[in-house]
Amino acid sequence: MSKPVVLVVMDGVGWTEKDMGNAVLHAYKPQLDELMSKWPHTTIKASGTAVGLPSDSDMGNSEVGHNALGCGQIYSQGAKLVNESIESGKIYESAAWKDAVSFAKEHNGKMHFLGLLSDGNVHSNISHLIAMLKQTKEEGLKEVRVHILLDGRDVPETSALQYVDQLEEVLASLNDDQYHACIASGGGRMVITMDRYEADWSMVEKGWKIHVMGEGDQYNSAKEAIEALRAEGNYTDQFLPGFVIGKDGQPVGTIDDGDSVILYNFRGDRAVEISKAFDYMNNGFDSFVQEKKPNVYFAGMLQYDGDLKLPEHFLVEPPHITNTMSEFLVNKGIKSFACSETQKFGHVTYFWNGNRSEKFSEELETWVEIPSDIIPFERKPWMKATEITDEMVKAIESGEYQFLRCNYPNGDMVGHTGNYEATLIGVESVDLMLRRIMDACLKMDYTMLVMADHGNSDEMYDKGFNEDGSPKAKTSHSLAVVPFAVFNGPEGTEVKEGDFGLANVAATVVQLLGFEKPEEWLESIIK
Q: How far apart are the first and last CA of the chain?
A: 17
What fold is seen in the domain 5-77+320-512? Alkaline Phosphatase, subunit A (3.40.720)
Q: What is the mean pLDDT of the chain?
A: 96
User: Would you place residue 389 in the very low, low, confident or very high pLDDT band (cuts 50, 70, 90)?
Assistant: very high
Check 37, 55, 57, 62 and give the catalytic one: 62
pLDDT at 24: 98
| Domain locations along the chain | 5-77+320-512, 79-300
pLDDT at 307: 56
Question: Is 80 exceeded by the pLDDT of residue 225?
Answer: yes
Name every residue whose Cβ is closer than 8 Å to that of residue 69 and which is 6 or more positions away in sequence.
7, 9, 352, 451, 453, 502, 503, 505, 506
Partnered with residue 299 across adjacent β-strands are: 262
Tell how far CA 378 is from the center of its chain.
19
Distances (CA, A) of 415 to 48, 454, 486: 20, 12, 25
Q: Reading across the β-sheet that carries 5-10, which strands appear in turn?
A: 41-44, 482-487, 447-451, 5-10, 403-408, 336-341, 365-370
pLDDT at 347: 95
Rounded mean pLDDT, 514-524: 98
Name every residue whose Cβ is closer than 8 Å to that of residue 37 and which is 6 or more positions away in sequence.
none
Q: What is the pLDDT of residues 267-301, one digit of tens each?
A: 888 999 999 999 999 999 999 999 999 999 999 99
**pTM of the full predicted structure?**
0.77
Question: Is 60 exceeded by the pLDDT of residue 336?
Answer: yes
Q: Is 62 among the residues known to form the active site?
A: yes
CB atoms within 10 A of CB 136: 23
CB atoms within 10 A of CB 469: 6
Question: Is 70 exceeded by the pLDDT of residue 77?
Answer: yes
Q: What is the pLDDT of residues 356-377, one digit of tens each?
A: 989 999 999 999 999 999 999 9
pLDDT at 318: 72
Question: Is 70 exceeded by the pLDDT of residue 518?
Answer: yes
Q: What is the pLDDT of residues 175-216, one digit of tens each?
A: 999 999 999 999 999 999 999 878 899 999 999 999 999 999
The CATH class of 79-300 is alpha beta
pLDDT at 306: 63
Q: How far apart are CA 364 and CA 357, in angstroms?
A: 15
For 366, phi and psi rounded to 5 degrees? Answer: -115, 125
Q: What is the pLDDT of residues 399-438, one digit of tens each?
A: 999 999 999 999 999 999 999 999 999 999 999 999 999 9
Containing 346, the helix (H) or strand (E) segment is helix 342-346
pLDDT at 308: 79
